[in-house]
């Protein structure tokens, strides 16, 4: 691969005319990352120099590791290969999965699509935006897909908020978990923004469900603002301060930033291989900026991608590094939470 990068550094004019760009998505068709790629695909063709064909190649399997490893091994650095990344791809790296062979933190991100998580409970269990009744309960059940996924962060979040009765029910997808929540079998539930609007908002309007908090939107300077979809709900740092009587800082803040980067800011991403030249990265970023100004994109983006603006540019690279490389203190915090709930799985 290094050979290719030498060649491409020499050519200042990037032109993809007549070429085909292969977008490797390490998930199956129909998933969130696939939908993200499909939405961007026509705009990419329209705005990349030379209007190349963009084909999406799905390589699912091995918890997204198979397709990611495939990309690492086969991607050319000349801009004809791009990678569809998501939280699970990042978590595989951040948690030190031994099967990972891709060097994600060095990849060159073009576009990040942020997401946000909403927490809520049944109206008979708590007042809106108030955890005090929940904290009194002996048993607070919540859904957890597997501890080796991003759901791991739930364990940490509940731990830091001092919900002593919190007990994960394993093997529940977010939609299966939400069903069990509606049936009254589990007490706390969470959803991403899209499903929050579609499924949870109607229940809140009926008075059956109340908002608790959101993860919060992390800005480039590290400030945290409220989620516009639930402007009255406190963010996690606010809730942390209310519960613990002190500001979120130190190791806890560091862990929050790492989790926020992986879970929220880099929820979906489009990346170039690590050895892609600056010219190629710039050509892609320019195309992405033109895309966000396209009237058709503006008209459809909120419905297809959610309300949070795309992150483009150098800032994106910082976020990916933060998300993919957890510091030892953050790892220790996560492992302590895992250990407390008797999971054998450990972040490496």
Partner 1 sequence: MEQLLAALFQLFEPTHLAFLFAGTLLGLIVGILPGMGGTSGLALVLPFVFTMEPSHALAMMIGVLAPTTTSDTFPAVLMGVPGTAGSQATVMDGFPLSKKGMAARALSAAFSASLLGGIFGAFILSISIYYAIPIIMAFGFGEQFLLVVLALLMVGALTGDNLFKGIASCFLGLIIGSIGTAPITGDPRYTFNTLYLLEGVPLVVVGLGLFAIPEIVGLLDAKGSIAKSLNTKKGWFTGLKDVVKNWFLVLRCSTLGCLVGALPGLGGTVVDWIAYSHLKQTTKDTSQFGKGDIRGVIAPESANNAKEGGALIPTLIFGIPGSGNKVLLLGGFVLIGIEPGLDMVTTNLDLTYLMIWSLAIANILGAGICMGFSSQISKFTLVPYYILAPVMVCLIFFATFNINRDWYDFIGLLSFGILGITFKNFGWSRPALLIGFFLSSKVELLSYQTQAVYGLSFLSRPVSIILIILCLATIVLLTKQKFDNNYRSDLIKGKLTQIYYIVILLCLPLSMIWFTSSLDYRANLFPISLSVIALSLLVFILIIKIADLKNLSFLNNTFMKFARSNIFEISGNFNNQLFYYLSFIGFLLMNFIFGFPIAAALFINMFILFHNRKAYVSSICISAVLMLILWSLSSLLTLQFPNGLIGLLIDLPWWLGGQMN
**By CB under 8 A, is residue 309 in contact with partner 1?**
no
Contact stretch for partner 1 (CB under 8 A) within 103-111, 234-242, 252-260, 338-346: 338-346
Type and span of the H or E element at 307: none
Site string for partner 1, 109-148 (x = CB under 8 A): --------------------------------x----xxx
Which residue of 6, 7, 73, 99 would you call a contact of partner 1, by CB under 8 A?
Answer: 99
Smallest gap from Cβ 319 to partner 1, in A, equals 26
Tell me: does residue 166 bind partner 1 (CB under 8 A).
no
> 29 or 251: whose CB is closer to partner 1?
29
Residue 29 binds partner 1 (CB under 8 A): yes
**Using H for helix, E for strand and C for coil, what is the string for the chain?**
CHHHHHHHHHCCCCCCCCCEEEEEECCCCCCHHHHHHHHHHHHHHHHCCCCCEEEEEECCCHHHHHHHHHHHHHCCCCCCEEEEEEHHHHHHHHCCCCCCCCCHHHCEEEEEECCCEEEEEECCCCCCCCCHHHHHCCCEEEEECCCCCCCHHHHHHHHHCCCCCEEEEECCCHHHHHHHHHCCCCCEEEEEHHHHHHHHHHHHHHCCEEEEEECCEECCCCCEECCCCCCCCCEHHHHHHHHHCCCCCHHHHHHHHHHHHHHHHCCEEEEECCCCCHHHHHHHHHHHHHHHHCHHHHHHHHHHHCCCCCEECHHHHHHHHHHHCCCHHHHHHHHHHHHHCCCCCCCC
- In the beta sheet, which residues pair with residue 201? none
For the chain, the first-to-last Cα distance in angstroms comes to 28
Q: Of 48, 54, 65, 91, which lies in the binding site for partner 1, with binding defined by CB under 8 A?
A: 65
CB of 217 to partner 1, least distance (A): 26
| Segment interacting with partner 1 (CB under 8 A) among 102-110, 167-175, 213-221, 302-310 | 167-175
Of 66 and 321, which has the nearer Cβ to partner 1?
Answer: 66
* Contact call for residue 18 and partner 1 (CB under 8 A): no
Residues paired with 324 in a beta bridge: none
Residue 258 makes contact with partner 1 by CB under 8 A: no
Residue 169 near partner 1 by CB under 8 A: yes
Residue 301 C-beta: closest distance to partner 1, Å: 20
Could you tell me the smallest distance in angstroms from the CB atom of residue 309 to partner 1? 26
- Per-residue tokens: 125: 């269990």
Contact status: 55 vs partner 1 (CB under 8 A): yes
When the beta carbons of 157 and 172 are compared against partner 1, the nearer one is: 172
Regarding 60 and contact with partner 1 (CB under 8 A), the answer is yes
Handedness of CA 44, 49, 55, 61 (dihedral sign): negative
165 binds partner 1 (CB under 8 A): no
Stretch of 174-182, 205-213, 219-227, 255-263 lying at the interface with partner 1 (CB under 8 A)? 174-182
In the set 45, 46, 135, 199, which binds partner 1 (CB under 8 A)?
199
Distance of closest approach, residue 28 Cβ to partner 1, in angstroms: 6
Nearer to partner 1, 75 or 157 (CB): 75
Q: What's the burial of 61, exposed, middle or buried (CB within 10 Å: 0-12/13-18/19+)?
A: middle
Least gap, CB of 313 to partner 1 (angstroms): 29
Which residues bind to partner 1, rule: CB under 8 A? 20, 22, 28-31, 34, 55, 57-63, 65-66, 99, 141, 146-148, 167, 169-173, 175-176, 179-180, 182-183, 185-186, 198-199, 343-345
């Amino acid at each position: 691969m290094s050979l290719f990068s030498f060649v491409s550094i020499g050519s200042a004019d990037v032109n993809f005319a007549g070429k085909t760009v292969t977008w490797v998505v390490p998930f199956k068709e129909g998933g969130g990352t696939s939908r993200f790629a499909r939405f961007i695909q026509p705009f990419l063709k329209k705005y990349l120099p030379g209007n190349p064909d963009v084909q999406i190649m799905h390589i699912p399997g091995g918890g997204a590791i198979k397709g990611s490893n495939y990309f690492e091994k086969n991607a050319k650095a000349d801009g004809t290969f791009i990678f569809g990344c998501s939280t699970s791809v990042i978590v595989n790296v951040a948690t030190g999965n031994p099967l990972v062979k891709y060097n994600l933190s060095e990849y060159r991100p073009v576009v990040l699509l942020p997401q946000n998580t909403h927490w809520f409970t049944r109206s008979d269990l708590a007042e809106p935006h108030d955890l005090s009744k929940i904290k009194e309960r002996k048993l607070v059940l919540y859904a957890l897909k597997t501890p080796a996924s991003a759901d791991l962060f739930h364990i940490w979040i509940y731990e830091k908020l001092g919900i002593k009765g919190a007990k994960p029910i394993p093997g529940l997808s977010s939609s299966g978990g939400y069903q069990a929540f509606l049936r009254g079998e589990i007490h706390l539930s969470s959803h991403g923004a899209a499903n929050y609007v579609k499924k949870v908002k109607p229940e809140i309007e009926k008075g059956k469900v109340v908002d608790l908090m959101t993860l919060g939107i992390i800005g480039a300077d590290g400030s945290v603002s409220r989620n516009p979809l639930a402007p009255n709900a406190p963010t996690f740092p606010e809730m942390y301060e209310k519960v613990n009587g002190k500001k979120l800082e130190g190791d806890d803040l560091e862990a929050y930033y790492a989790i926020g980067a992986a879970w929220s800011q880099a929820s979906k991403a489009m990346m170039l291989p690590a050895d892609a030249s600056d010219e190629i990265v710039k050509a892609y970023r320019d195309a992405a900026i033109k895309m966000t100004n396209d009237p058709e994109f503006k008209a459809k983006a909120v419905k297809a991608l959610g309300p949070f603006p795309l992150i483009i540019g150098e800032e994106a690279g910082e976020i990916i590094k933060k998300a993919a490389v957890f510091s030892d203190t953050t790892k220790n915090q996560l492992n302590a939470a895992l250990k407390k709930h008797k999971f054998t799985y450990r972040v490496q």
